[in-house]
Each structure stands twice: as C-alpha cells, then as structure tokens.
Amino acid sequence: TMVDEFQDIVYSNPDMTPDERNAAWRELEKQYKPHLDYTGCDYYEKGCFWQKQHHIYDNPLYYIDYCIAQTDALQYKAWMDKDFKGAWESYLELCKLSASDFFNGLVDKVGLNNPFKPGTLKAVVEQLSKEMGI
C-alpha cells in the first residue's frame, strides 16, 4: 500500500529532511491517488497529509497486517472450496495456537503458504479467479 511504501522509503533513508519526507508522500499520492485535489490547502499540497496517519508513528509498518490477513483468508477460502473439513480443522488449529509462535511458524504449522514467499498471492488469486470464471 501507499503507506507501507512511504514507510519503506523513510526507513531506508533515515536522514531525510521533513521537506523530503513530505515530497515523497506527495509523489506517492500522485501515483496512488491521482484524483486528489488539494487546491486551497497548502498544507496537504506540500505533502503533509501523512502526518495524520497515526499508525506511522504509533505502529510502524502496521498496515501490511491487513494484506497478510487477507492473503491468509483467501487461502482458507480456496482451501475450503476444495476441502472444507481440512481447512476448518487448520483454521481451528491456528486459533488454538494463537500467539504461541511467530507468524512464519504458525502458517507452516497449519499448512498455509507464507504470504512473504514469492508466488503465494499469485497462486491464490489464480485459483480463486479460475473458480469464479474470470
């Protein structure tokens, strides 16, 4: 997402000035949200909108959690379409394991593909697209 890309830029360039951070945000807005029009609002036109994204300060890189959760949910959807009982048992096991391990260990234990490994999302999307006829 745009917020994750912005944080990646900032953390990869810790010596960026505030103006450089703002410029990076504004460039990303133009790429991700070209419809935005800040006419009459110089603060946002300068790229300062990112400062109201509290997750950037409080929980850096938090937004990627949404992508990870959706990827796992899509895997379960595809799995349930083929083997409901097996997928359900895996999901219940994941719930039981809860925070007993790090994420990578948990997905391995319950038979999910790790969303961080190349090809995982592509495979899930291809499978679901095929099932949906698109």
- CB–CB of 55/3 below 8 Å? yes
Q: What pLDDT shows up at residue 57?
A: 87
User: What DSSP line would sit under 25-50, residue for residue?
Assistant: HHHHHHHH-TT---TT-HHHHTT-GG
Torsion angles phi and psi, residue 35, rounded to 5: -80, -15
- CB–CB of 24/6 below 8 Å? yes
Q: Is 110 left (phi over 0), alpha (psi -120 to 50) or beta?
A: alpha
Q: What is the pLDDT of residues 23-77, one digit of tens each?
A: 999 999 999 999 999 999 999 999 999 999 888 888 888 888 888 999 999 999 9
What pTM was estimated for this model as a whole?
0.69
